[in-house]
Amino acid sequence: MPGKLISQEAVKGLDQVYGIDQTLCNGKKYTYMPPPGTTRHQYLKSPFFTVGCVTLKGKIFQDITLNYDIFNQQLLLQYANDDGPLNILEVSKAWLKGFSLDNRNFELLNLDQEPRFYQVLGEGTVRILYFWRKSLNLNNAIGTYNFVFSNDIRDSYVLMNEQLKPFNSNRSLTKIFEEGKRPEIKSYLRKNRVKVKKASDQVMTEMITFIGKLR
């Protein structure tokens, strides 16, 4: 669904459906403000909130308005109280399992570091994980003194045996797997013209599904 502002009436639907469920609304107020004059934004796709779903304590909350701040690594919930004003909360990570937003699925996983949000492609024991982030830098254009958010930065991994294996090219991806599987993986990549740096989520999902079935 394209990014768009959600009307107050639509957001009030959260009250009607969930009654401002304390499991869902158990976070602190989102107060982050970039330095004045900062250009671009801190979000994955757009500053506009869109409809998504989130899983907390095993319960799926659907049709709620979300955004993902990848600079601060916070999932944000927008809703309205009965008296009308819009609120933005940082969804508590204490009970958070995952969320879906803009046709992407994310999980909160505790792997090599502290718990992180990863976009997950594929199912089973071998999956592709993307970690999305941004940096905030001084604008290096002559005569400017403001800050600017970087473009999206994507760190790519294969999750296998509960370990993260980084890759950034067809070659580095292939080397993650056992020697006996590499010829079939190389053949698949060639036959399907897969370039892992630019491939769509669908292409990468199909690829890792194929690899996961190799014996």
Sorted by sequence, the CB contacts under 8 Å of residue 56 that are 6+ apart come out as 23, 24, 91, 92, 95, 96, 97
Query: What would the pLDDT profile of 77-101 be if each residue is shown by its tens digit?
Result: 998 776 667 889 999 998 999 999 9
3-class secondary-structure state, position 118: strand
Query: What would the pLDDT profile of 25-53 be if each residue is shown by its tens digit?
Result: 778 999 999 999 999 999 999 999 999 99
Contact 67, 74 (CB under 8 A): no
Contact 14, 25 (CB under 8 A): no
Sorted by sequence, the CB contacts under 8 Å of residue 21 that are 6+ apart come out as 61
* pLDDT of 143: 72
DSSP conformation class of 32: -
Contact 6, 49 (CB under 8 A): yes
* pLDDT of 84: 65
Sorted by sequence, the CB contacts under 8 Å of residue 30 that are 6+ apart come out as 69, 74, 76, 88, 89, 90
Q: How far apart are CA 82 and CA 79, in angstroms?
A: 10
DSSP conformation class of 33: -
Q: Is the pLDDT of residue 6 over 70?
A: no
Q: How far apart are CA 153 and CA 144, in angstroms?
A: 24
Query: What would the pLDDT profile of 111-169 be if each residue is shown by its tens digit?
Result: 877 899 999 999 989 999 999 999 999 987 777 789 999 999 999 999 999 999 999 99
Query: What would the pLDDT profile of 171-214 be if each residue is shown by its tens digit?
Result: 999 999 999 999 999 999 999 999 999 999 999 999 999 999 99
Q: How far apart are CA 20 and CA 11, in angstroms?
A: 11
Extents of the domains making up the chain? 8-166, 168-215
- Global pTM? 0.88
Q: Cite the DSSP H helix spans in the chain.
A: 8-18, 170-175, 182-191, 201-212
